[in-house]
């Protein structure tokens, strides 16, 4: 049986919510190297939906709201800085990416280090406290 995702470019797209989604979009592009693919403003000065690309990967994000979907997602500041999920991204030059994120003010959680399973990696938080992991280990290679 063929894979149901065989003809797609990116098969998993994490989704995040931000209190200030417009500022988060700019910061994610500056600090991590995302590129705006689509940004749709809402009628209340926020972002209804945004798609940011990273190589062949993508994240979707939008502004926090009191919709049924929005009530399912807690912000890190509301739950003691914890996360239940963490996007993991593969980068070609982990040292350069680490320096870029630090220069943009990312809060480093785990400093860059060589991993036992291969490559290097680090974790950090964005300005609204979301946890991110970046590394050079490519499980597909």
Q: Cβ neighbours of residue 95 under 8 Å, at least 6 residues apart?
A: 112, 120
Any domain includes 140: no
Cβ–Cβ < 8 Å for 28, 34: yes
Any domain includes 20: yes
Both tokens assigned to 96: 């350069």
What is the CATH number for 76?
3.10.180.10
CA dihedral of 110, 112, 113, 117, whole degrees rounded to 10: 80
Total domains, the chain: 1
pTM of the full predicted structure? Answer: 0.89
List strand residue ranges (DSSP E) for 29-106, in order. Answer: 35-41, 47-54, 57-63, 88-90
In tens digits, what is the pLDDT along the chain, a chain of 141 residues? 566 666 666 678 999 999 999 999 999 999 999 999 999 999 999 999 999 999 999 999 999 999 998 999 999 999 999 988 899 999 999 999 999 999 999 999 999 999 999 999 999 999 999 999 999 998 888
- Which residue range forms the structural domain that includes residue 38? 15-135
């Amino acid at each position: 049986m063929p894979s149901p995702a065989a003809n797609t470019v990116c098969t998993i797209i994490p989704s995040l919510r931000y209190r200030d989604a417009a500022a988060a979009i700019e910061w994610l592009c500056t600090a991590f190297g995302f590129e705006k693919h689509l940004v749709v403003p809402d009628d209340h000065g926020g972002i209804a939906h945004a798609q940011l690309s990273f190589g062949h990967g993508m994240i979707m994000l939008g502004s926090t709201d009191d919709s049924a979907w929005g009530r399912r997602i807690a912000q890190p500041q509301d739950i003691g800085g914890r996360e239940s999920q963490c996007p993991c991204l593969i980068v070609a030059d982990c040292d350069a990416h680490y320096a870029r994120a630090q220069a943009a003010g990312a809060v480093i959680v785990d400093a860059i280090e060589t991993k036992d399973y291969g490559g290097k990696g680090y974790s950090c938080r964005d300005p609204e406290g979301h946890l991110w992991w970046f590394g050079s280990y490519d499980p597909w290679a």
